[in-house]
Structure 1
Amino acid sequence: MIIEKTTIQDLVIVTPSVFEDSRGFFFEAYNQAKFRKNGINYQFIQDNQSFSTRGVIRGLHLQVNPFAQAKLVRVLEGEILDVAVDLRKNSPTYGEHFNVVLSAENKKQLMVPHGFAHGFSVLSETASVLYKVDQLYHKESERGIRFDDPTLAIDWQLLPEEVIVSEKDLILPGFNDIDWEF
């Protein structure tokens, strides 16, 4: 298992060691001891899964303290552009975002710690996304930022006419209008 630092502190890409033979492949998607050895100390308590078609953008979502969620995101089928935005006011990368292509083929995962908004766009015809969380869903703590916020200027790698966004996500505030912090 390779744990790779990104340009944003505490946000890491996890690439499993894959063992392939004529039967197929095997890999450890999660190993608590290996994560802890690398300073990733979350206690995951729930797995969530979504299925989406090409052009769907889910996010940018988060929960505020004390119900903030860390997420370990991976793709079971298809390909997504996974995006995390640093919302930790005391961070030198506050307001910056990072993205990585996660796919069933590359088997990479993104470890999104507390203090980040998270979202993804579906780049393949369909995608099944699985993510572990360390906190249960808490409706009153749910927040978000508009996917097309001009301050963040995220390139979702989709054509404008391909984009499919929920009504709920279309009414989220812009980055400069958020009034919560970590």
Structure 2
Amino acid sequence: MKKTLLKHCFSLLLLMLIVLYVATGCKSKKSIFEQDTNIKDSLRNELFESYKKEVNKKVADSIAKILPIIKTGDKNCDSICNEKCNELLEQANFYKQSGDNNYKLLFDKHKRLLSFTANLEETISEFQTKKEIKERHFVRTVKITTKVPVKFIPFWVQVLAWLGGIFCIFLAWRFGRIFI
């Protein structure tokens, strides 16, 4: 009887130690701390425009040149050449007008004078240049995950559990002395 009681006391003591170990060893799941970091998306458009305006002043110009008579030494050849030259130069006479601008080329047969006259009004030249810069930045979300352990049992509960276990061992030892 004493041996069976002793076996039961040690079994009870072993069971209490297992329960005590399980009670102090159990923890809750580790909590997970997540942090999201956003990298922003931005779009940048830049447009550079330059405008240049040139104004040319009014131009009135003329030139005149006296053409000499052709002299080769042969009067027949000279008269034919001079006559053909005069005929061709008279056909080249012209007068052109466009808006306020005009051009004139005249040949005077009697004075043998070739003259050119140009009257140009002021002109405006406009230059415009465009330069466009496009940049795009994308958003990216980065998740940072860290695990933070959280204990389920507070310290004072652990101390009381150990004191209870020690007390159970003491009681088992005491019962073992009395009944053995």
TM score, norm. by length of structure 1: 0.18
Higher alpha-carbon Rg: 2
Structure with the higher helix share, 1 or 2: 2
